[in-house]
Structure 1
Amino acid sequence: MKSDHSLPLRRTLLRLAAGLGAATAVRLVAADPVGSPPRPAPKAAGAAGSRPAALRTGPLAYKLRPMTGHTPPRYRPAAPPVRTRPFEKLTDIGHAMVLTFDDGPDPLYTPHILDTLREHDVRAMFFLCGEMANDNRDLVRRIADEGHTVGNHSWTHPLVTKLSRAGITDELGRTSDVIEKITGAAPLWYRAPYGAWNRNSFEIGAALGMEPMAWTVDTLDWTVPGTDSIVRRVTQGAGPGVVVLSHDAGGNRSQSVAALGRYLPELLADGYRLTVPHRR
């Protein structure tokens, strides 16, 4: 993956200034197939600007692992609407759940996840690393064009709690900038790498116009526990308002792809709506 320090800092600083102190209201709606954007067919391998999966036959070498069980400390917010905890479960959405995928997009695994979601007419959230987004722009466009929510997962997936405020601003700001450049809209949600949050990350994320999103059910797919184990964790943890954490990059995610193809039809058969959050 590449670092690109040429992304404009001015837009990040302007967004920080504009976002400070702005009140934010959050509402959740079910994915509406009728009102969703048109879904173009995936580009053929070799199309201009695309990166064919055939160029790589194995997963990326690095491993991105969330810190399971980590919860943020309670802080007094510096200024509204800075939160002291991320959203972990979403209330008042009825018999609905949210599927989320971290660390991508990956040209080997993300297209298969998108294919499964499209087959079942379901929308999900993708929390993208800026480096990966910058290197796979056509895939980012496909995620957005097919109606999924694009979130910010930092540029290089660092441990945010070890960074200075300037470092956090750079990681989140550069990622928001590249997502906005690719999709035409800056992300409204972000997730801290490893699920490690602190006051600085909450404040800077809010200043950039984003809400923090954690999870309710961790599939632990990054441990490569087996497809059956991933399916079992999702189906046993299912419930109204549950947010499911999975990964589409950062290692071998073939089990995550296979598991989605099994648990998604089960959730739908059990009457769950798979929705994404929208902000007003």
Structure 2
Amino acid sequence: MSDEDLQRTVQIEHTGNPAADGAAGVRRPPRRRVVAAIGGVTLVAGVSMTAGILSSGGKPSPGTTTAGALRTVRGTPRATAKPSPAWTPPKHPATAVATKPQYYVDDQGPRAIALTMDDGPHPVYTPQVLEIFREYDIKATFNMIGGQVASNLSIVREVSAAGHTITNHTWNHADLLHLTTRQVLSQIDRCNDALAAAEQSPSIFRAPYGNWSKAVFEACAERGLKPVDWSVDPRDWDTAQVDTQEIVHTVLRTTRAHDIILEHDGGGVRRNTVAALRIFIPKLLAEGYKFVAM
């Protein structure tokens, strides 16, 4: 019989187990049997088809033959499969979506406090800050901007070698408040990629300006990052209005056990911050506080 005389008959038969499906309360994708009769020879193949193939009036999805996943070429059935789209897994295991950031260090001792340095690394001020921390043998947390990492890789490695924590502070200090989750993920991923060049894999994220949103929390969860804010803000970032003594006064007046203190080693001229660190660190140590890295 010629190819033109071939007759094909397709019979689709449901062979699920209604009793088992109903008992479990779950409807499984039906198993369907494709029967192709070609020139008196019957071909039978079990094919798992989802309900989506028969949607829109029974039309198959793009790339799927009308017989499900079989295509007959000169009487020989050949399975065809549409390749899965490329997918890049998260860089960190996903975690539960937070509803607020962490403001305190409650689990590191009764007199623990955390000193956090934002907006570095900076080629001038970060080394000065590191020297003060070495002098008083304390640990801190450095929230780094990814776009500044490549030109300061040696400083990033020095911070890590000294035992301080390095976190993700976005790629370019963007205000995330009105960004989508995808846009926040881009900021996070670019910073993570930059820090990876210094063998760093952050587990903490700090939002610039302390601007948190649902999208930011979703992005943090997807990348396995803990959102961390602060509880003491001496406003050292306001270099036009706040001097060294005001920074010191605010820190000493408001800091209590478990507080997270905001300071900056980048993002501008930080001479006042460096001078303030030299004053309030030994005073807080004398009061019995313990500086911890997060």
**After TM superposition, is the score higher than 0.5?**
yes
Correspondence for 1:193: 208
Supply the distance in 2 between the matched residues of 1:189 and 1:221 (Cα, whole angstroms): 22
Cα deviation, residue 274, structure 1? 0.3
Contact 1:133–1:140 under 8 Å retained in 2: yes
Cα deviation, residue 239, structure 1? 1.0
Structure 1 letter corresponding to 2:275: A
- Match of 2:167, SS state, is strand
Correspondence for 1:137: 153
Cα deviation, residue 134, structure 1? 2.0
Does residue 252 of the first structure (1) align with residue 262 of the second (2)?
no
Which among 90, 99, 112 is matched to residue 96 of structure 1?
112
- Match of 1:101, SS state, is strand
- Match of 2:143, SS state, is strand
Which among 70, 93, 101 is matched to residue 86 of structure 1?
101
Correspondence for 1:3: none
Correspondence for 2:93: 19
Cα deviation, residue 262, structure 1? 0.5
Cα deviation, residue 15, structure 1? 2.3
Counterpart mapping for 1:173-252 below 5 A: 173-182=189-198, 184-224=199-239, 225-252=242-269
Deviations 1:33-74 (A, max 9, x none): xxxxxxxxxxxxxxxxxxxxxxxxxxxxxxxxxxxxxxxxxx
Structure 2 letter corresponding to 1:200: A
Cα deviation, residue 96, structure 1? 1.1
Correspondence for 1:35: none
Which among 233, 250, 269 is matched to residue 286 of structure 2?
269
Structure 1 letter corresponding to 2:281: L
Deviations 1:137-177 (A, max 9, x none): 11111111100000110001111122222211110011112
Aligned residues between the structures: 205
Contact 1:96–1:239 under 8 Å retained in 2: no
Supply the distance in 2 between the matched residues of 1:132 and 1:167 (Cα, whole angstroms): 19
Identity within the alignment, %: 35
CA change 1:238–1:185 in 2 (3 A) is same
- Match of 1:217, SS state, is coil
Structure 1 letter corresponding to 2:269: N
Contact 1:180–1:187 under 8 Å retained in 2: no
Correspondence for 2:44: none
- Match of 1:276, SS state, is coil
Correspondence for 1:168: 184
Cα deviation, residue 201, structure 1? 0.8
CA change 1:13–1:121 in 2 (3 A) is farther
- Match of 1:223, SS state, is coil
Structure 2 letter corresponding to 1:212: P
Superposed CA RMSD in Å reads 1.4
User: TM-score scaled to structure 2, two decimals?
Assistant: 0.67
Structure 1 letter corresponding to 2:243: G
Contact 2:182–2:219 under 8 Å retained in 1: no
Cα deviation, residue 219, structure 1? 1.3
Correspondence for 1:109: 125
Supply the distance in 1 between the matched residues of 2:88 and 2:99 (Cα, whole angstroms): 23
Contact 1:246–1:256 under 8 Å retained in 2: yes
CA change 1:208–1:233 in 2 (3 A) is same
Higher relative contact order (CA 8 A, sep 6+): 1
Contact 2:147–2:194 under 8 Å retained in 1: no
Q: Hey, which of these two has a bigger chunk of strand by percent?
A: 2
- Match of 2:115, SS state, is strand
Cα deviation, residue 108, structure 1? 1.2
Structure 2 letter corresponding to 1:227: T
